[in-house]
Structures are given as structure tokens and as C-alpha cells.
Amino acid sequence: MASQMFCHFLDLDNVALDTFINKSAERVAHINEQLHHLDQHISNLIELRSALLHRSNQLTSPIYIVPHEVLSYIFCFANELEQSITQPQKAMVLSAVSRRWRQVALSTPKLWERVECQCTWKQHRNTSLLIQHCALYASSLDISLFNQSDPDSGEETFDTTTAVLYSSNVTGKLKSLELLYGPPPQWIRLIPSFLRLEDLTIEGGRHHHPNVDLGSLPFLSRVHLSSAAFKSLILPPSVLMLHLEGQSTRHSVPLLYNCPRLVEFTSQSNSYSKSPRPISLSRPLVLDSLKTLVWSPAQTFVEVASATELKIPVIENLELGDSRGLELAPFITFCHQISPSLESLTLKYFRFTTCSIASLQNLFKFPNPTLRMLSLTDWSHTSILDAIRALTPGEEEDGYRNRCLPNLEYLSIGSFGSDYMPYPFDSKVVDLVKRRRIGEDSPFHFNFSFAWDDSGSQATWERGLIREFKEFVANRQMEVTVRGRKAELEDRLIRSPRLE
């Protein structure tokens, strides 16, 4: 190395001294040639100095001797710590620290898998460049596009992003796609070309999309559609999880026929209106793999289940919400016919104006030996009191032999309302736990909440009743929570610690 550092240009060139006396063209050319060689030598020395300094840092700084694989793992861990940062912003920062960090970052595919882009009309070029960069270094892609362009923008606004999405480097690697805030039709038309797609989310209804056939996507297993309007949509039979929000029954029911292997299905609508024509379908709907079903409003589900002769033989978790328009008699009939595999039943946002306690008792007496969890949450105050009475054995009844749903291990009851009337929540809860002899023969989890406002302020209890409740709980295998958090039993209030 010493010979490389020797600089022969330091030797005096006697020929150069004559240049001021003899100014022939040959002498000037010779000097210019020497200046060129000198500049090149200086450049080589600067490069050598940089290399030696880098090597010195490697020998003295611990971060430079961390193995490539360990540094790659640290990058991945750091990249996942703060999900609020738009991806892959943190990977970009890591790759700009040094040459070695850039080499490690670019050779770590996981850093570039997640791409989140805010697509305004000014940023489509930046979006396309970012997707191109990530597609070059990732082994698979998870892309989220937030369309924040003017709703009246023409198709040419999205041309650059559309072209990149359609490139072979993206179509061959894309596994998860989120199109949010009303994606343009040309992005929707691209979806059938993503043959490796496994997870699809479409949110927003700025556009009414034409016929879309996704039946050729062999790996698509999770689909989430929220307020996305299609003239018609075909899903492949590979779909296992389907979540629909704001979709009409006319569109959601055919999708169920597309997906016979469904394991989890959610259909939620903000409103219920009675269909002018009853739903009529020619063949039964059999979902013999479905284990979790969430549907709101409940009356729509009852109508669909009746019209399609719905068969869900292995259902384990059923959640029905919003009792608007609910006809109780057909609903009770459905519950009595449900599969014996059901383990958890949740009824949310139920408010009855005309419903007898006898009808609720009939509802809770459906013959299901495996039901272990019952949740009645966000009911009206009067409706939840009727439900508590229906679940409580009469004074002349035996708490073991005559109680409905004898195998319950978890019961959650909750109501919400702003009317500060003196509802007897305390006495009815005490009657319920004592007459059902909860926690006497096996462990039991009891969760409740009777809230007056959005802050979760709870109804107060009489001191005598809360002492009686505390004594009963102390002598039973019973866990008590309020709104899912461990309860604190005070003189006149049972509450849960507030979330920080």
C-alpha cells in the first residue's frame, strides 16, 4: 500500500521550468498532459482516502461489523415497529444511511413488500415510481392506494399509475391489494390480471363499476368490499373470508353462491327496508365450511336464510345486529333450527317496543347443547331488562334443571341509553346470578355494562345489593368484568378502570 501512496508528481519537472521561456506549442501540450494526469492522480488519491476511512470506520465502529443477515433482521424489525409511518418510507431512510446499509436494505425483500400511496392528481408520477422501485426489490407486493384525486378527474389522470400496475413486475408479485376512497374504473378492470392475488379490499363508491369477473384468480381467499357498487361481480370458489359493507341483498346473495368454501362471512348494512318482492332463489344455499357469520340487520338475514334454505352445518360463531323490522316469530324459529355446532351467539343493537318476556324465554330455550357464550350487547335499557328476566329462573324453578342454556360459560349483557330513569339493573342482575347459581358448579365469566352516555358512565347500585353481589361473587368460581375490563366493586358503583 505504501508504494500506491507514493506521489511521483512531487518530483520537480525541470522541463516544465522552461515553459515560461520557450512557449512553443509542444511545451504547452506537454504541460496540459501533465495537468490531466495530475487531476486523475488526485482523484485516485481521494478515492483511496475514502476507502481507507471507510475501512477504519469498519474496524472501530461495532455497527460495521454486524453480519449482513443480522443487519437485515434489524431493518425488518425496525420497519414493523411504527405502522403509522407510510410504507416504505422507513426503508427509504435506512437505505440512505450508507453504501453498506443501502446494499443490505435493497437485498432485503421484506422491506419493500408494503407500499402505501396517497394518490392526488399531482402525485401519480411519484406513486408510479415508488411502486416500480418496490416491485424491483420485493419478492411479493402488498399495495394500498388511497385515491384522493378530484372525483371528476378523467381517466388520463391515472394513466401512469395504471401502466405500472399492469407491468409484469407488479402483476407477477402482487398478493394483497387495497383500493380505497373510490378507486377509478381502470384500476378495477386490472384486478383479473393479478393472478397471484390473495387479499382484495375495495372501499368507496365514487364510481359505479361494470361487470367484473374475478373467477380466474386461483389464490384469492380474502375479499372486503365496502360501499363498492358493481353491476355484477363474480368471485372465485377459492374465497374463504368475505366481508361486505353497504351491499344490497341482491348483490350479496349471489356472491355466497360463488364461494361455497367460505369459512367467515360478514354482511353489514346501515339501514333496513323491506323488499318490495320476496327473495326467491331456485336452489338451496349450502355453506358446509362456514364457521363464523356476522349479519346486520338481523331481519335481512332471516329473510335470506328462509329464501335460500340456508344450510350452515358447522357454524360456531353467529353474530346478528340491528333489530329494526325484525319479526320475532320467524327469528325464534330460525334459532331453534340452527346447527348444534353453535358455540357463540351475539345479538347486538336490539330494541323491542312490543316483545313479551315469554317470547324472549322461548328464544333462549332453543335446544343447543354446545352453546357456551351468549352476548346481548348495546340493547335498549327496557329490552335488556326483559332479557335478564327471561334468562332468570323463576322462584319455583330449580336453578340447574330449569335454567335455559344450561352449558353457558360466558354471559355478556349490556345496554345503552340517555334516559336517566331508575331502572332496577342491580336487583335484576343479583336475581340472575343467584337463581341461575352461576359459578357454583363450574367457572363462569359474567360481563355487563349499563351505560348512560358515550363516556360509559354506569348506572349506580344500591349499597345493600352491591354488598350482596360482592358476597356471592366471593364464594363462586366467577369472573366479573365491566365492558370487558376487570370490575371494581365500590359502595354504589361497579365500574371498570378507564382506558389511559
Q: Say what the pLDDT of residue 199 is.
A: 97
* pLDDT of amino acid 500: 31
Determine the pLDDT at residue 330.
Answer: 87
Q: How confident is the model at residue 272 (pLDDT cuts 50, 70, 90)?
A: low
In this prediction, residues 89-104 reach a mean pLDDT of 87
Rounded to two decimals, what is the model's pTM?
Answer: 0.81
Least confident of 77-86, 164-173, 247-256: 77-86
Contacts of 65 (CB under 8 A, 6+ apart): 58
Query: DSSP state, 207?
Result: S
Q: Which residue has cell 342482575?
A: 429
Give the pLDDT confidence score for residue 117 in this predicted structure. 84
Does the pLDDT value for residue 494 go beyond 80? no
Q: Is the pLDDT of residue 16 over 70?
A: no
What value does the mean pLDDT take over residues 178-183?
A: 86
Beta bridge partners of 413: 376, 448
Q: What is the pLDDT of residue 490?
A: 62
d(CA 336, CA 334): 5
pLDDT of 223 strictly over 80: yes
Highest mean pLDDT: which range of 16-20, 154-158, 377-381, 451-455: 377-381
| CB environment 383-418: b (16+ within 10 A), e (fewer) | bbbbbbebbbbeeeeebeeebbbeebeebbbbbbbe
Across residues 297-307, what is the average pLDDT? 90
What is the arithmetic mean of pLDDT over 249-258? 89
Q: Give, to the nearest 10 degrees, the angle between helix 425-435 and helix 463-474.
A: 30
Asked whether the predicted pLDDT for residue 358 surpasses 50, the reply is: yes
- Which range has highest mean pLDDT (87-96, 112-121, 204-213, 438-447)? 438-447
Confidence of residue 6 (pLDDT cuts 50, 70, 90): low
Across the chain, what does the average pLDDT equal? 83
Give the pLDDT score at 120.
Answer: 67
**Are 235 and 223 within 8 A, CB to CB?**
yes
**What integer pLDDT is reported at residue 67 of this predicted model?**
85
Residue-level pLDDT at 136: 93
Question: Which of 82-91, 355-364, 381-390, 466-475 is predicted least confidently?
Answer: 82-91
pLDDT at 213 (0 to 100)? 94
Confidence of residue 179 (pLDDT cuts 50, 70, 90): very high
Cis before 297 (ω within 30): yes
Looking at residues 348-362, what average pLDDT do you find?
A: 86
- At residue 152 the predicted structure's pLDDT band, cuts being 50, 70 and 90, is low
Predicted local confidence at residue 1, as pLDDT: 44
* pLDDT at 3 exceeding the cut of 50: no
Q: What percent of the chain has pLDDT over 90?
A: 35
Confidence tier at 498 by pLDDT (50, 70, 90): very low
Q: Is 499 exposed, middle or buried (0-12, 13-18, 19+ CB in 10 A)?
A: exposed
- 139 has a pLDDT exceeding 90: yes
Q: Which residue has the higher pLDDT, 286 or 420?
A: 286
- pLDDT class for 221, splitting at 50, 70, 90? very high
Task: Give the mean model confidence (pLDDT) for residues 340-363.
Answer: 88
Q: Is the pLDDT of residue 231 over 80?
A: yes
Question: CA nearest 242: which of 294, 196, 279?
Answer: 294
Higher pLDDT, 428 or 99: 428
Q: pLDDT band at residue 207, thresholds of 50, 70 and 90?
A: low
Write the pLDDT tens digit of every residue in 373-413: 999 999 999 999 999 999 998 877 665 566 788 889 999 99
pLDDT of residue 497: 47
Match 359474567 to its residue by C-alpha cell: 446
- Whether residue 4 is predicted with pLDDT greater than 90 in this model: the reply is no
Residue with the bigger pLDDT between 290 and 94: it is: 290
Instruction: Give me the pLDDT at residue 489, please.
Output: 65
For residue 430, what pLDDT is reported? 92
List the beta strands (DSSP E) in 351-443.
373-379, 410-416
Given a contact cutoff of 8 angstroms between Cβ atoms, the answer to whether 408 and 371 are in contact is yes
Position 416 scores a pLDDT of 85
